[in-house]
Structure 1
Amino acid sequence: MDRHEILNYFEHRRDGAWVCTRPVTLTTARESVAIRPGARFDYGKKVGGIDLAEYLERLGSQFGS
C-alpha cells in the first residue's frame, strides 16, 4: 500500500481526531500494529512510535484529503 492510501482507512473528525473506519495494519520502523474500526487517535497519541493523528494530517494536506 502506498503511504497515502492509509487515509482510506480513517475519517477526520471536526474535533481534530482521526477515527479508524475499517481494519488496517500500520507498519512502522518499530512494529506492525493492527488497528480496529472505531479506534480514535488524537494528537500526541503514539502508535508504533509515531503520532498517528499528526501523520495522517500531513498526508491529508499533501494528498488533498
Structure 2
Amino acid sequence: MASHEILNFFEHRRDGAWVCVKPFTLTTKSSSVDIRQGMRFDYGKRIGGVDLAEYLEQLGCQFGS
C-alpha cells in the first residue's frame, strides 16, 4: 500500500481528530498495531511510535483528505 492510501481508512473531523472508518493493521519500524473502526486519533497521541494524527494531516495536505 502506498503511504497516502492510509487516508482511505480515516475520516478527518472538524475538531481536528482523525477517526478510523475501516479496520486495518498499521505497521511501523517499531511495531504492528491493529487499528479498529471507530478509534479516534488526536494530535499528540502516539501509536506504534508515530503521532498518527500529525502524519495523516501531512498526507492529507499532500494528497487531499
TM-score range, shorter chain: over 0.9
Matches within 5 A, 1:19-30: 19-30=19-30
Offset of residue 56 of structure 1 = 0.1
1:58 corresponds to: 58
1:42 corresponds to: 42
- List 4+ stretches of structure 1 deviating above 4 A: none
- TM-score, normalised to structure 1's length? 0.97
Q: CA RMSD in A?
A: 0.5
- TM-score, normalised to structure 2's length? 0.97
- AA aligned to 1:36 is R
- AA aligned to 2:10 is F
The percentage of counterpart residues that share the same residue type is 74
Residue-pair matches, total: 65
Offset of residue 64 of structure 1 = 1.6
Gap regions ≥5 residues in structure 1: none
Gap regions ≥5 residues in structure 2: none
CA distance in 2, matches of 1:43, 1:24: 20
